[in-house]
Amino acid sequence: MSENRYIKDHAHEKSLFMSRIIISSLVGLFFIFVIIIRLVQLQIVEYDFFNQKAQGNRINLKATLPPRGSIFDRNGKVLAENITAFQLEIIPEQVEDLDRSLERLLSLKLIDQSQIKAIKQQIKNSQKFKSIRLRSNLSDQEIAIFAANRATFSGIELQPRLVRNYPQKEFTSHVVGYVGSISKQDQSRLNRSLYDPNEKTGKTGTELFNEITLHGEPGYYQFIANSRGRQIPINPTDINSNILQNKPATAGSNIFLSIDLDLQILATQLLDNRRGSVVAINPNNGEVLALVSSPSFNPNIFNNNLTSNAYDELQKNTNQPLFNRAVLGTYSPGSTIKPILGLAALQLGVVNLTHRRLCKGHYSLPGNTHRYRDWLATGHGSVNLHNAIAQSCDVFFYEISGQIGIDRMHNYLDQFGLGQKTNIELTGERVGLIPSTLWKKTNFSKNEDKTWFPGETVIASIGQGYMLATPLQLANATAALATRGKRFKPTLLSAIEDPLSKIKIKSEPQQLNQIKVDSVTYWEEIISAMHNVMQGSGTAKNVGTGASYKMAGKSGTVQVVSVGQEEEYDQENLDERFQDHALFVAFAPLHNPQIAVAVIVENGNSGSRVAAPIAKRIMDQYLGF
């Protein structure tokens, strides 16, 4: 069997080899050409751009935090300030065993178990040589505990820092608010370039609403940094020579509130931790003199490392201490709106100054057997408008409600600011509700629910049914009654002070549209009736009689639970949470009003017996009696 023999074609192989050499050379030359072009672009064309960028990486900026502005009451008493306190900080790269160190801090009760996960996550997301806050505002006992065990820790130190302090504690927590760590939600509203991640920002109250004013402007310093961002000295022989340029921070402005601290404290004490609210206003300029929500809380707990469990307990507390009832709480205004409806009835010609009606203790719509009961079962007898306001006769207002009509009722209450935001300098203010036929038509989905019924007008005439108002709105409406229709926007801001020059810029009153009626006599008749409530034969005569100055007021008692036609209403035997709300509005002095007050005590049972004495005590103190 013969073997196949292959003879090499040297010419072909040489040609193939040369082809490959040429192709490889061309490819190589192409890439060399690309590299040369890129080098030219980087080194010549874009030299300035990349030189500046390299300098930016080499020279870093670090913000210096501005001192937060202080908050004072109208007389200069401190409501919020900055104090020096010690906080526990960790530098991760200096810690030999992180888990063991955290466990030791836990055993010493210097951190909480619920914090450990967040601490580890923060360390993971931060540069290892930067300090991270573990605890702030340590107590003297906690400082002593750490100092005694300091030798067992590496990379963990106590550092003095400025922290927010609220010396008035529970007395001003809802109006002043508090600060807290910056959350993701906060980041969306804040200018991130002005804040450090470890900084705190306003969470509620004045602290939140005036965040920009209080915060100030951060400063900065430039330093040389290596590729990892660590500061390095300019002069290797001088470790302190690392600052290139320094711009000091500008402190935040100080804020003076219109609040009278003594009045605020008294109002809080008078509520005695019961659920409720007190708002007092100067009717001549709209300045809020007291704004209290009860029960309250100590805002300093948010600087004392409040645990998530403790915060949950606050939120779940059935008395809602974190809830600002003064601007967020909405209540049926009850009989406190009767003076306004009486004014509307006079203006519309529904009644006159001598018109009288018979109150038998109940009222029924024509052709209907349903009885709308008066608070006085035996009735008030023959009453005119003056008596109906002074004695709070429900039947009188039941009877005239149909002639006024819900839409005209809505229009008059609207003029006094009920059912609309006051735009006070607090966030989250609620609107309340003054119903109308249009409101019902647009807010109910079922056709049968869109119709406004005459019985709903009857209930609305005594401030119940759908009707809702905040304590601030009631105080504001009372102020408008006191001034005979002259209205101002309620305000908490009295002045802003420059922290360096101490120059104050005072806020100017903002006057709103005046409420006009055809005759001054109408105002005087309504105010005379309100005077009679407290210093005549009215429902709160036991409170006002004997006072050395003249005052006016109106009580309101609002049912929390409904009662059937044949059921006897015995609220004394009801559970406390089902008893009537107690309301009272008042102003004084009668002819030169200086203060208007609204008081609400939830489940307080009686406006004239429970809420009226609180209003009287507040007016006494403010007027110096």
Please count the CA atoms within 13 angstroms of the CA of 485 that sit on its side-chain side. 16
In a domain, residue 305? The reply is no
Of 60, 86, 113, which residue sits at a domain end?
A: 60
- Cα dihedral 35, 37, 39, 41 sign: negative
Residues 491 and 515 in one domain: yes
Rounded Cα distance between 47 and 24, Å, is 32
Residues 417 and 507 in one domain: yes
CATH number at residue 186: 3.90.1310.10
What does residue 88 show for φ and ψ, rounded to 5 degrees? Answer: -90, 125
Tokens of 227: 């590729």
User: Terminal CA-to-CA distance of the chain, rounded, Å?
Assistant: 138
The count of residues in the chain is: 625
CA nearest to 280, candidates 624, 598, 601, 603: 598
Residues 106 and 159 in one domain: yes
What does residue 599 show for φ and ψ, rounded to 5 degrees? Answer: -125, 130
Residues 105 and 192 in one domain: yes
Residues 22 and 69 in one domain: no
| The pLDDT value given to residue 236 | 54
Which three-class secondary structure state does DSSP give residue 324?
coil
Q: Is the separation of the CB atoms in 404 and 345 below 8 Å?
A: yes
- Per-residue pLDDT tens over the stretch 351-402: 999 889 999 999 999 989 899 999 999 999 999 999 999 999 999 999 999 9
The alpha carbons of the chain give a radius of gyration, in whole angstroms, of 36
In a domain, residue 98? The reply is yes
In a domain, residue 612? The reply is yes
What are the residue ranges in the chain where pLDDT is below 50? Answer: 1, 53-57, 229
Residues 147 and 43 in one domain: no
Q: How many CB atoms lie within 10 A of CB 134?
A: 22
Tokens of 77: 């008493």
Provide the residue range defining the domain that includes 167: 62-257
Rounded Cα distance between 162 and 138, Å, is 12
With residue 520 as reference, give the H or E element that holds it: helix 520-535
Of 235, 257, 279, which residue sits at a domain end?
A: 257
Query: Catalytic residue at 335?
Result: yes
How many helices (H) and strands (E) would you count in the chain? 22, 21
- Cα dihedral 401, 404, 406, 411 sign: negative
Answering whether pTM is above 0.85, one says no
Rounded Cα distance between 243 and 194, Å, is 20
Instruction: Please give the biggest Cα pair distance in the chain.
Output: 145
Q: What angle do CA 364, 370, 372 make, to 5 degrees?
A: 60
Which three-class secondary structure state does DSSP give residue 216?
coil
Residues 105 and 20 in one domain: no
Which residues share a beta bridge with 582? 557, 601
With residue 544 as reference, give the H or E element that holds it: helix 541-544
| The pLDDT value given to residue 404 | 96
Rounded Cα distance between 534 and 552, Å, is 6
Which residues share a beta bridge with 163? 83
The single-letter code of the amino acid at 342 is G
Residues 436 and 512 in one domain: yes
Of 207, 233, 257, which residue sits at a domain end?
A: 257
Q: How many CB atoms lie within 10 A of CB 478?
A: 31
The catalytically annotated residue of 70, 101, 136, 335 is 335
In a domain, residue 407? The reply is yes
In a domain, residue 10? The reply is no
Tokens of 71: 């908050």
Which three-class secondary structure state does DSSP give residue 598?
strand
CATH number at residue 452: 3.40.710.10
Rounded Cα distance between 109 and 621, Å, is 46
Q: What angle do CA 569, 374, 350 make, to 5 degrees?
A: 155
Q: Which letter, b or e, does each residue of 266-281 get, where b requires 16 or more Cβ atoms within 10 Å of its Cβ?
A: bbbebbeebbbbbbbb
- Cα dihedral 482, 471, 166, 256 sign: negative
- Cα dihedral 612, 618, 624, 625 sign: positive
Residues 550 and 517 in one domain: yes
CA nearest to 426, candidates 508, 284, 325, 550: 325
Residues 281 and 198 in one domain: no
31: CB partners within 8 A, 6+ apart: none
In a domain, residue 303? The reply is no
Q: Is the separation of the CB atoms in 414 and 435 below 8 Å?
A: no
Please count the CA atoms within 13 angstroms of the CA of 380 that sit on its side-chain side. 27
H helical segments located in 373-519: 385-390, 394-404, 406-415, 437-443, 454-460, 471-482
In a domain, residue 1? The reply is no
Burial zone of 98 (CB within 10 Å; 0-12 exposed, 13-18 middle, 19+ buried): middle
**E runs forming strands in 5-110:** 59-64, 71-72, 78-90
Residues 22 and 38 in one domain: yes
| The pLDDT value given to residue 200 | 87
With residue 493 as reference, give the H or E element that holds it: strand 493-497
Residues 485 and 557 in one domain: yes
In a domain, residue 304? The reply is no
Number of compact structural domains in the chain: 3
